[in-house]
Amino acid sequence: MPPLTTKKPRGPWPARLLSALALAASVPVFAADVANPFFNDLGPLMVAGALLAFLLRDRAARMGAIVATVLWGVSGFSPTGKVAAKVVVLGVDGATFDVIDRLDLPNFRALAKDGTRATLTSMEPMFSPLLWTTIASGRPPAEHGIRGFHVASTDCEVARFWDIAEDRGHTVGLYKWLVDYPPREVAGFWVPSWLAPGPETWPAALSYVKELELSKRMRRKQVAARHGTVELVWGLVKAGVRLSTLARAAAWSAEERVLHPKPARANLVMQTMRGRIDRDVFVAQLHARDPELATFTYYATDGLAHLYWDQPEIVEQAYRQADAILGDIRLHLAPDARLIVVSDHGFKAMDGTGLAGQFAPLTERLRARFTAEVGPADVTKVGHKLTVGLADPAGQARAVAWLSALADAAGEPFYRVEDLGGGSIGLTLTDEQITAERLAADSVGGEPIADYVKLTDAYTGTHESRGVFYAVGAGVPAGATLEPVALLDVAPTVLAALGIPASIEMAGAPVVFPEVTPRVADWDGVLLDLTWLGGEDGQNEEALKAIGYIE
């Protein structure tokens, strides 16, 4: 008689494998959450582990699932305490009420209901590095000295509100304000904006954020050589990046490989990914460093609007993200903290229809020729308009005369020249009818016109003067709308929110918050003793090109 063979019962291995996978996911998430308490923002996923624990019959597998559930659940709680910040300034580059109100965004709506809003009137030349410097200093470009993009934070000749606040003993946290490179060592944090050519931050541990951004310019391999991928991701996690952001990055990586998405989709994902990383790191640093004054600036509302104003569904996603970030930041602020939201300019459809809309002026040949024949300058393009920013404003009259004399083949002035004063000159084309025939035949000051303008339909949106201003917090009237506010009013307003007087040199006045009197004669003395962290020379030219300021 053959020995009786009993069928072996189905082994516990599938159950144990599932349980091991749950543990393999939750242990590193738990460890990351110890380093960054905001890391696990996908807490509800613990339901999957609980379900597993309920379904698995094998004892060891069930234990594993329970442990995984507990680790995931515990790490899923994020700090809910309020931060110490007394004043937070949120910059939304290029934001306009035309889109905010059309979309009826919930957090912007709540901000208007709880606080005060107004149109913020921008100034020419409408070029962001210069405008954000005007906002921060309360001084016009002729005085602050930031006219082009070949500038560093050390070139700003006047004090900005964070310099003044710091001098008065307040701790500051700066996140991507324009013209803030190189950074300084502060009792808070300082992460420079997209113009920065190098990765320096304060504290240095935050530089992973900048390295990731610069990696396209420096090529991934070089970044990987400096810091391996694992170290880069771990550095980002420790700086504050959340699990949902990593999951989004992984999903994008798969989409990119499988679906080969169009450039517009890739651009949208990259810009909103940057928005997520920035929000994650800013909120974590608000908690970790607890500055009394903090700033955060969001740029996708400008970058995407230049390219896709004619595709509202893309621009809207940037505005929805700005709204989400606003909501997230408010969640962490004490009820009496003061939040000021500003844009540097508004946005509109590119003017001109048909032929007049299908061109872009070029910057490089004009810059080279101007520099050779008149003197050093930056030439920047925003929409159909060029801005010439002189290194030396004393050359203004000569520059205006030289630019006015540039004629086309028929002897007519090629540019309509607008003397903006203070080292800035605005240029538009006298004849905006650009056709392929004209591009082939016409000339500018004896050189081929094709070096000065090109046919393109890449840009559909451009800057306009009506930006946004909001304030909320202690002492701010709820539900009020003010008369238009000037850019020059913002710095005195931020200082007043901190209880610091403006200087007599500032032409604007605080809105919403009462003026602190008497004004001081001048704040610029606070710049004398500042020490800057070393950095690289130059600008992030790739970022300037991506936004369309130069080609």
Give me the residues that bind Zn ion (CB under 5 A), please. 302
Nearer Cβ to Zn ion (280/302): 302
Nearer Cβ to Zn ion (302/378): 302
Nearer Cβ to Zn ion (302/323): 302
Smallest gap from Cβ 178 to Zn ion, in A, equals 11
Nearer Cβ to Zn ion (188/467): 467
Is residue 308 within 8 Å of 95, Cβ to Cβ?
no
Question: How far apart, in Å, are the Cα atoms of 335 and each of 78, 91, 194, 291, 330?
Answer: 19, 20, 32, 16, 9
Nearer Cβ to Zn ion (116/387): 387
Nearer Cβ to Zn ion (56/304): 304
> Can you tell me whether residue 340 is helix, strand or coil?
strand
Facing residues of 379 across strands?
Answer: 388
Smallest gap from Cβ 296 to Zn ion, in A, equals 18
Report how far residue 182's alpha carbon sits from residue 278's, in angstroms, rounded to the nearest whole number: 18
* Closest to 184 measured CA to CA, from 169, 168, 204: 204
Smallest gap from Cβ 306 to Zn ion, in A, equals 6
Is residue 333 within 8 Å of 82, Cβ to Cβ?
yes
Facing residues of 418 across strands?
Answer: 426
Smallest gap from Cβ 297 to Zn ion, in A, equals 13
Nearer Cβ to Zn ion (299/402): 299
**What is the DSSP code (8-state) at residue 421?**
E
Smallest gap from Cβ 190 to Zn ion, in A, equals 23
In order, the DSSP letters of 106-143 are HHHHHHHHHSEEEEEE--SS--HHHHHHHHHHSS-HHH
Angle among Cα 542, 343, 515 to the nearest 5 degrees reads: 135
Report how far residue 15's alpha carbon sits from residue 60's, in angstroms, rounded to the nearest whole number: 9
Facing residues of 388 across strands?
Answer: 379, 425
Nearer Cβ to Zn ion (33/302): 302
Nearer Cβ to Zn ion (174/304): 304
Alpha helices in 197-311 (DSSP H): 207-218, 220-226, 229-239, 243-259, 263-289, 300-308
Is residue 304 within 8 Å of 319, Cβ to Cβ?
no
Smallest gap from Cβ 264 to Zn ion, in A, equals 17
Smallest gap from Cβ 341 to Zn ion, in A, equals 18
Smallest gap from Cβ 454 to Zn ion, in A, equals 19
Nearer Cβ to Zn ion (23/342): 342
* Closest to 91 measured CA to CA, from 199, 183, 177: 177
* Closest to 69 measured CA to CA, from 36, 44, 88, 91: 44
Facing residues of 296 across strands?
Answer: 90, 175
Structure tokens at 280: 């994650």
Structure tokens at 400: 């205006």
What is the number of residues in the chain?
551
Smallest gap from Cβ 550 to Zn ion, in A, equals 13
Nearest residue to Zn ion, using CB?
302
Smallest gap from Cβ 200 to Zn ion, in A, equals 25
In this structure, how many other beta carbons lie within 10 angstroms of the beta carbon of residue 444?
Answer: 21
Report how far residue 399's alpha carbon sits from residue 423's, in angstroms, rounded to the nearest whole number: 9
Smallest gap from Cβ 90 to Zn ion, in A, equals 18
Report how far residue 100's alpha carbon sits from residue 103's, in angstroms, rounded to the nearest whole number: 5
Smallest gap from Cβ 354 to Zn ion, in A, equals 24
Smallest gap from Cβ 101 to Zn ion, in A, equals 20
* Closest to 463 measured CA to CA, from 117, 90, 121: 121
Report how far residue 342's alpha carbon sits from residue 497's, in angstroms, rounded to the nearest whole number: 14
Distant-in-sequence, close-in-space partners of 228: CB < 8 Å, separation ≥ 6? none
Is residue 326 within 8 Å of 88, Cβ to Cβ?
no
Nearer Cβ to Zn ion (213/302): 302
